[in-house]
Every structure is written in C-alpha cells, then in structure tokens.
Structure 1
C-alpha cells in the first residue's frame, strides 16, 4: 500500500519538504546560472571568432586590394613605361648571337647568389646596355617587392617576352608562348592584360606554377605610353605566404584555431595554419561549413568536423575581392573554445552537492523548532473542541507567529465562552420569533386565497409590533387599490365594446370602397393597355408610311434618271438620222459618178470594157447603200417616235409619283400626329391608373387598419373581462347580509354604480 502524504507526521514531513524545496531552489538557480554562463561564453566565443574572421578578411582584402591598386598604378607610371621601353630596346642591343641565352647566363646560371637570392644581383659587370638598364631600375622594383611582400615582379613585352623579373627564376627571359611558359598562369594573365582596357587589373587565382615550383596567384595590368596605348604588361606574382600572413595576423592560439580560403570548386586557396591539416589546393572535406563556403553563404556552425578529424566551431564569410571568388573559413577547436564551460559545469555540480548536504542538516533543525510549538497548540485546540475552556494556552509570550497563534487561540477560547451564553439567549428569542412567523404565515395564506379583510388582530411584542401594523396598513391600501382597478376594468369593457362596433362598421365600409376601387383600377388598366397597343400600332403605321415615302422618293429619282436617259437616246437618234442622210447623199453622188464612168467607158469602146464593168458594180453598190440607208432611216424615225412616246410616258409617271409622294407625306404627317396624340393619351391614362392603384393600396391599408382596430378592441374587451375575473378572486368588503355577494365577482355594474352613488 503506498504511503500517503496525509499519513506522515508533520515532524517528518516538514524537514522533507524544506530539503526538497532547498534542493529544487539550488538546482534551479545553479542550472540557470550555468545556462546563462554557458550561453554567454558561447556568445563570446562566437563573437570573438567572428571578429577574428572579419579581421582576417579585412586584412586579406586590404592586402589584395593594395596589390591591385599598386599594379594599376605601376602600369600607368612613366618610370615603368621607360623601364619597359629600355629593357625591350636593350635586349636587341646585346652583342651576342643568342641574346636570351646571354641574359640567362649572367643573371641565372652564373649568378653568384643562391637560387632564392638571385634578386641580390644588381649588375653582373658585363658592361652591356641591358645590365646598365637593370642596374638603373632593379633596385626600385626590388624595394617594391620587399615592401609589399610580393613573390616576384615581371615586365613582359607585347610580343610575349619576359624581359625583366626581380627573382630571376626559370621564367626569366622566356617567351610566354614557348615550351617553358605555354599554358601557364603567367601566360594567361599576360594575354588577358593585353586584351583588356588600359588601367584594368586582371587576376589569375592560385594554381601550381612550375617555373617557381610553388602555388601562386598573378595580378597584371597593361603598361601605357604617353598616349595611353599599351606597350607591354607588368605582372605581380603573389605567394601563399602573403595570404597566410594576412589571414593569421590576429590569431591568438594557432594550435587550436585555423583560418583559410575556399573556392567554389572546394579547394583550399590558402594553406592551413595548423600544421599538417591540409596544403594549398588540397580538396576539403564535405562538411556543412565547407559546403556553405563553396556556395558563398555566410554563417556560424557550432559543431563541425575539420579536415584533421576534430570537432570545431566555424565561421564562414564570403569575400568581395575583384577577380577572386573566395570564401573565408575560420575553425576553432571545441575543447579549446569551451574549456571554460566545462570548468563551470563541474563547479556547479559540486555546489549542488554541497548545498544538498547543508540543506538537510539546516532543514532538520529548523523543522524541530517549528513542530514543538505546533504540538502544544494542537493539544490546546483538542481541549477547546471538547468544551474544556479552563485549559492554559502555552506560548502566548512568544514574539513570532506561534505567539500570535497562541494569543489568537486564547482569545478564541474567551469568545467560545461568550458564544455559549449568547446561545441560551438566542433560544429564548427564537420562540418569540416563531410565534410572529406563524401569525404572519397565516395572514399571508389568507392573502394568497384572496381574503383582503383578514387583518392581524393579535398584538406582537415591541420588537415586532411595527411589522403587524405595516402589514395591516398595506392590506387596507391594497383593498382600496383593487376597488379602483375593478371600476376601471368595467369602464374599459364598456368603451372597448363601443370601439369594437365602430371599428367593425368602418372596416365593412372601407372593404366595400376597396372592392370598388379595385374594379375601377382593373378597368383603367385594361383601357390603358388597349390604348398603349393602339399607340404602338399607330407608331408601326407611321414607320411604314415613312418607309413608303422614302421608296417613292427613290422611285422618283429613278424616273428622273430614266427621263434623262430617254432624252439622250432621242438626241442620239437625231444625230444618227443626220449621218444616214449624209450616207444617202454619198450613195447618190456615187451613183452619178458610176453612171458618168459607164458613159465614158462606152465611149472608149473595147478599151473601156473592163472599166464599164467596174462602174456597173459601183452603181449596184451605191444603189444597195442607198436602199439600206433608207431602211435605217425608216427604222430610226420609228425609234424616235417610240422614244418620244416613252419620254412622254415617263414624264407622266414622274408627275404621278410626285403627286403620290405629296399624298404619302400628308398621310404620314397625319399618322404621326395621331400616334403622338395616342401616346400622350396613353401616358395620361397610365398616370390615372397609377393614382388609382395607389388609392387602392391606401384603401386596402385602411381596411387592414380598421380590422386591426376591431381586433384590438376585441382583445381589449377580453383583457378587461380577464381583469374583472382576476380581481373577483379577492374579498374586499365583509358580508353585511345574507343577500350580499360572496366575492367581488358577483357584484354587477349597476350595483357598483349604486354603491358609488
């Protein structure tokens, strides 16, 4: 059976409760303090790490930016232009069959300095013009290289020849298209610089560079003459040491912190600060922070895996460097970054253990000091519950809460004594109150039964006498009020009957008037509809007449055109007659000539026999032409007569059409006037019909109101009867004789009038 908390004694429960509360408090506070400290430390670590990353990014951006500006400035300097011009010119002035071999011999193979110190040679002492130019310009370029931390500086002609370099490595005096430099980063950056705009700096990211046996980046800009035209290229080679120095300048613990560059292809573009982690251009592991760096996304990561297999926190910052697509990554070993957190964790756990041990001892001692006074107060309370008011309450002289409780308990004991005395007096008063309650209950029962004359005659005690008098006075006032209510109800009944009769009569008259108006409205509506239809038909006739008028006018135009055409035909017939007369005259003249020719042929004898035959045929043709002209003239004359008759008929048709048009116009005007008048009459009838409908609606509303008034009168009369019936339940006056009514409901209105009179 599980142990219930209510069955445990307070002597044991209180120490356990205090210990539990103390432990909970200590654990909660410790956990909060630890959480706040851990969060603060983590925020500080993240802030410091982000600050170092930003400092490294700024240093690198400054270094690369300064190098780019330096290269651009060098390309525009007159000194560099003169150096480029002189070196290109003196190479051709070397008095040797192999000028390139001559340069390599004196500055590379026979250089007295070590391979990494060949830049210390200023003048080999061969007396050549090249060496004289080299002694002039080399110190300046060497100083520039040393001040800025460059790996090398090159001057390359537009033909692609490396005419000068500071370090004199394997790329010195080589052609960028030759076997040694073809396809190298130096060749690519020179080609890009020659193809770009003046003053532009082109870049080549870190990649393996065989002539120097290292991984390098290149910056290049065209060298300009006074006219701004490129005459060559100046190139600066950047080594990984420069980048690493700029990135790690602000690192404090280089054994546990690493900062490096990542390109989108996932390769390290700077060597690891931590030894043996990875080298330049090594592929980096597929970790979340590396993926963010490849995608150029900034962020902070609390637990990632480094390339060396350690857990670390990381910061990723994309860099805004023109020509270089890099993201900066900074990693800090977790054990080193959060060492302080682990120390605080052990301190908190130790504090919690010590606090629990101390709280147990303190809680047990404090609980005993609290439970002893409670036991004494418990004994006193048990005695008071047994009505033992003579017990002595201990602890009244204490100054703490137990003293207050003891004094309150002592005061409670005195009050219990006084309460017992008051209880006896209360019993005596209760009996008197019961008597008053019984009398009032009986009186209220009579009042409930409608007896308004049952007053309380028996006097009450002095404390309750006012109650009896008030009740009797209220009963008398109620009787007087009910008398007035009964009289008013009778008057309301009589008036309601008269109003009901008047309302019924008004409703019947209004209903008859409404029926008459409804019939009138129906007749007016039918008349309006017929007149509207007539107006529509008149409008249609008007439209038809207008169309007929337009067609007649169009026909008149056609007739005029026909008359004009007939006139032209008649004129043409006259002209044809003239031409036929001329043909007839020509035929006649021809016949005469043929006759004369026949006579002359007869005179000529046999010699004119052939001509006589011709003359005979000409006469025949003349005769036939004359006959044909006569026929045509006869036909033309007949045609002229027909045309004249047609012209006359068309003129008559035109006159008839003009008369028809005038008559149609007159009829159309009359029809329009009739349609307008009918429409005006239809509009007037519609207004009359609308007014009658409105009057019909008002009459119907009056009828409804009259019916409602009649119904209201009937309801008012019903309510008056109900009120009379309700008031009849009450007995207002005592019975004087045996003939008196038992209740007020038995009194008639005439009796009421006589009584009031």
Structure 2
C-alpha cells in the first residue's frame, strides 16, 4: 500500500485508464453473456407458457363448446320427441274421430232401416209367403220346419225385395243385411243370400254365432244393439260384427230385427291411412270381449315394414321397459281378433277407458312412440293404438341430399358421430350409420367400451358425463371419447344422447406453433401416462416428470433431460369432465440458446478492439492530463481549507442554540402534562354525571309507563263497574218478574183451593196440591224479595265504588302529568351533561394535539443538535481529505497552501432527558459535539 501511495499522479492515471477501460468491459461481457442466456431461457419459457396457456384455453373451449352442443342436442331431441308425439297424437285423434263417426253413421243407417217401411214390408211379405207355403205343404208338422230358400216362390220374392237392400248395402258398404223374425229367430231375409238365410238362429250350428247373440239381445232389450267381432260360420269363419235394431208394426209391437253385418274393410281403410305415420307407422284397433283382448283391425298394411315371415304385431310391446316382446297367436298375416299371449300395459289402460302417450320397445327391439285412446262406441270396449319407430319420428329430413337433421347438425358442430340410445342401452340411431347401429351396449364388444361407460353413467347419474379416450371396437379399436347426457321428462329417463369424439380435432388444436420453432411441440396426456393427442415423436411418458407434476394439479415450468438432450417444458393440468389430463409444451434447450453462440463471438472481438484503443489512449493522454489536472486541484484544495475553518465556527454556534431549544421544549412539555391530567379528570366526572342523568331519564320513562298502565286499568275497572250496575238493574227486573209470577201463582192456588172445596170429596186431592203450590208461591215471593233487597244493596255499593274509582283515576292523571314534567327536566339535564362531556372531550383532544406539537419541537431540537455534531465531523473529515490531496500533489505545495496543524480533538457531551421531565416513555439521549477550545 505504501509503494502505491509513493507513485506519482501520472503513473497512477495511466494505470487507472487501463483498469477503467478493460475491467468494466470484461465484467460487462461476462454479465452480458449471462443475462443473454437467462433472457433467452426466460423468453423461451414465456413463449412456452403463453403457448401452453393458449392451447389449454383452446382445448377447454373445445370441450365446453361440445358440452354446449350436447345440451343443444338434448334440447332438440326433447323438442323433436314432443313434436313427434304431437304429430302422432294428431293422426290418432283424426282416426279416432273417423272411426267414431263411422259407427255413428252405421247406427243411423240401422235405425233408418228399422224405422222405414221397407224392412217392415219385407217382413210382412216373407211372413205371408211362409204361411202360404206352410198351408200348401201339409206334411210340415211345426213352425220350425219352415220353407226352404231354394223354393222358386221365395226366390221370386227375394228378387222383388232385393233391389232396395242391394242398393243400400252397396252405397253404405255393408257385406250383408238381415231381417230376422223376432219370435222364432228365423233369418227371413239376407241381402247377400248367405248360408244363414232360412236358418233358425236359436238352434243348430248357428246358435252360438254373433248374429244369434245380437238377435237375442235386441229382442230382450227392445233397442238397438251391437255385437263385437267374432268368427262367423256362414262366412267361412271370417271375423264379422253386427248392428241390429227392432222392427215394429203400426201398433208398436216388436215383429222383427233388422241387422247389418260389418266387415274389416271400413275399419282397415281408416286405420291404414299413412298421413303423419311415416314408413314405420302403424294404427290398429283392439277390443276386449269375455275377458279376452284381441285385434279388431287387420295389420296387413304394416307388412311392408316388417321382416319376411314375421307373424306378430310390430309394436306389441309388453309395456315394461326392457322386457321381452309380447307375441300374438297370428296365423300368417295378422287378421282381426288375433289374441295376445301377454297384455301390454298400454292395452290394459286403453281398455279401461284411459288415453295416453308413451315410448315402448317393439318386437324388433326398436323404440316406438305409442299413442292410445279409448273409442266411444255403443256396446263395444275398443281402443285405438298408433305407433311409429322413434328413430323415424324424431329425425326429420333437412335437405335434398337425404341427410337428416342430426347428420346436418353433426357436420355443423364437427363431431364424428351422434348416437341416440334407449333407456335399455339399444342404439336406435347413429348419424354415421356405422356398424354400432341397432347394437346393445351391454353385449358383445361394446360391453367394455367407453360408450358403455358413458351411457351407464349418464343413465344412473341423470346428468352430463364425459368418458375419456379408450379403444372403440366398432372402429378397429381406435381411441374415442364420448360426451353423454340424458333426455328427461320430469324425473323420467326417456333417452340418452351421445357425442362421439375423435382425436383429430385435438391434434388440429395442438398443431405446430411458430413460437416453438421447428422442434417444439405441444401435446395432451392422461393420468395413465398415455397421450391424448399426436406427439410427433416418442410417446413413452412413464418417466416424464412434467406430466407427473401436472397430474398432481401443479402448473409450472421445468428443464428436463431426456434421451441425453435437455428440454425446456411448461406444463399445466386440464380438467375435462371427470378426466384429469395434462398439457405440456416443450422445446430443446439448444434451440432456445442458439443465439448465445453468436453473441459470444461478437463480445470477444469487441474486447480486443477496446483493449488496443485503451492502451493507446492511456499512453498518449497521461502526460497531458497530469499537468491539466494538478493545477486546478491545488486551487480547489486551498479554497476547501478556508471553507472548513468557517464551517467549524458555524457548527459550534448551532450546537449551543439547539441545547437551549431542547431545554425550553422540556419546560413546555411538563406544563402541558399537568394540564392534560386535570382535563382528563374533569372529562371523566362530567361523563359520569351525564350517564347518571341518562339512567334517571330512563327510570322516569319507566315510571310514566307504569302510571299510564294503572290509568288504563282504572278506566277498565270503571267500565266493568258500570256494566255490573247495568246487570244489577236487569237482575232486579228479573226478580220483580219472579215476584209477580209468585203472586199470580198464589192467586191461582187460592182459586184452585176454592174450586176443590166446591167439589167436595172429589176435589180433596186437588186441594192438597193447590195448598202446596200456594206455599211454594209464598216461599218464591219471599226469596224474590230478599234477592231484590240484596241486589239493591249490591248496586248501591257498586255505585259508591265507581265514585272512588273516578277519584283515583283523576289522582293518577295528575301524577302522570307531574311525572311527564319531571321526565322532561331530567331529559334536558341529561342532554346538557352529554353536550358538556363532548365539549370537554374536544378540549382534551386539543391539549393532546398541542402536546404532540411540543414533542415534535423537542425532537426537531434533538435532530438539529445531531445535525450540528455531524457537520462538525464533516469539517474534521474535510481537513483529512485536504491533507491527503496535499500529499498527493507534493510536500512543497502542501505547506504553501494550507499552513494548518493537526486536526483538533473533539469533546463529546451527553445530554439525557429522563421520563419524569419529558412525556416520553424512553429517555432521549442528545449527543452534542463541539470543538475543544
């Protein structure tokens, strides 16, 4: 150190030039490279983080959009289902109205036939022919052995009668019209000349037919009747129904029964209308007869929609979700009156007179919408049922390319497929028309698929469910994810809607980003350490630590080594439904730091050039700077010495002034402390007085309330006494009435005794009774008198009490008035006390503020004293610096410039202000520095 001090200024300047030029440059180059590396890494991590967050938002938005699409799909399915039910119900109602109108027309036709002259004339003519025939054939032993319809005479008569009935049957579309003798059951006329013409319905092979039952019922009830469909022997066992009515003569006597036969044609034409029924729609009539349910219309119109050889109703469902289809005993094509081996639920309802809409599984396993309505028909228990496949009903066509609504929707939302499943797990619709259509998710390859999980969870939880990617067998085991949601009606599950999702849209979202360069990538992975998107290279993630951290719910950045290469990564968790995923963005560290190598070469070249320039500048400018710097410094040193002397004198004066200021502040603080204590005591006493006045005011208010309550009680007592006075008057009136009754009773008893005396011995018993009555009347009068006297005394005392009550009420009113005045005075005093307490509180705050100002003045005085001491120390330091400058320049110049001696010693005085003198908790130590004289 001594050797360095002995070096002259020129050598020192040259050395300093070299150090100042080269050392900062080296340090700057080192830190520049370090900061550049950190900046590039930070920039790369920022890029990774921004890409990760952006891709994460895109993935989350993608699934949120798909959830919204699924909600829209569920809503649309629900709306289309309602529309399908409404459309089916409209078609059902139209057919029901047509069938009921058809029967009304049939009833009107039969009534018209029965009331017209043609039926009666036909009966009379056939009856006349029968009598003539019997007379001509004497060998006929009884009426049952009637004429034969093959007789030429009857044939001629039939031809004579047939034109009217033929035209009627043709116009009204009736297979046959009958006229039956009411008494014998003889079929006297058949428009179609069936086998039953000329037969007696009460015996033989026709006795158990529907026409026989109709004849008996019309004769018994003497009114119109309807016979349900049943097998009819004369028509080769085909199903036939009949409507009949009584035919009466001119005197109103029942002579015959006119009946029309009903076939299936009219009913089938009505139920077979396809309007609003699509391709799979079906309508049929069922009836119940003798406890047996059977069809009342043919299902032949539905054969086109059935599989070859099918011999059961397409929608004869059991009515219970998931149960086996109900079979009917049907010979080949379905005819009317085919019976069911099991009764579907909706058939039981419709035959009980209930209508409804529902969804059931048909014989082919497909869901069908079903509408049922009871038919209001005379004498028949029939119901109308219409159904249509759910897939056809709720999936309308949208455009000319034959795509349906959901196919168009699937294409618009860029979804791979839309599936609709029944509550039993049957896939009855897919937009892609893939191999999974009409499959059951609980059987085959689908039993362990993600679709099975998605359906089961949505069905059980009755909420939206996401199922993670897993191999899907119908698509060669390629991974697929599913979004599923139930379609509900109230709390009832109707369907389950499913969106099938592929990985291709996720790959498009995570495609290469320019911020990551050529070798960066972004990918998704699951908690099972398997990728959920295309990774672009190795997909082994078992030891991938960023994925492990993200699976734990952590978000961050990390540098990892993989396959002897360093990578910068940014990771974050992604929550998709119940699945926990991770998104990772990574870039090779070498790629991130590629610009650092170029920067290192540039810095080395720069350092060499600067080194050459600094050396040349130091040698050339050292001599020139030595002379130009030394002379101005000598002048400055001389001026600094003079200023140091003057500054020393000023600091001594400042030190003495600050001491006096501190003593004055101490005296002021002591006076303020005594004043503050007195004010605090006065404030507390005033506050106590105000609180006592407030309590007195509260007690006066309570006393006033009690006086008012007593006043109200006295007023109620006065009213009660007035009422008692009134009641006493009424009691006196009653007693007076009792006295008058006793008086009259006494007179009557005397009269009875006189009459008994006149009667002699016969009236002796009556005289005794009269005497007892008279005594009783006298006792009653005596009691009534005493009661009246007591009531009078009671009324008089009540009136006296009323007078005292009034006087008491007046005194209470006076006390109430006085208490009100006293309460007002106490309230005013309490308010005045509170106001005085507030004023004293404000004065106390003012004194506290003044005390605070005194404290601040004391502190300022202490600070000034400290500042004076520091200024004195600065003077000493300035003398030392001047001495060093003199040494640096030369000994010759030092003596000439300063002529000063060794710096004077300093004396330190410690001033302590104890707690008793100043209002401070800790003693204040003032270090006052002054020069030694």
Structure 1 or 2: larger helix share?
A: 1
Structure 1 or 2: larger strand share?
A: 2
Larger radius of gyration: 1
What is the TM-score normalised by the length of structure 2? 0.41
What is the TM-score normalised by the length of structure 1? 0.49
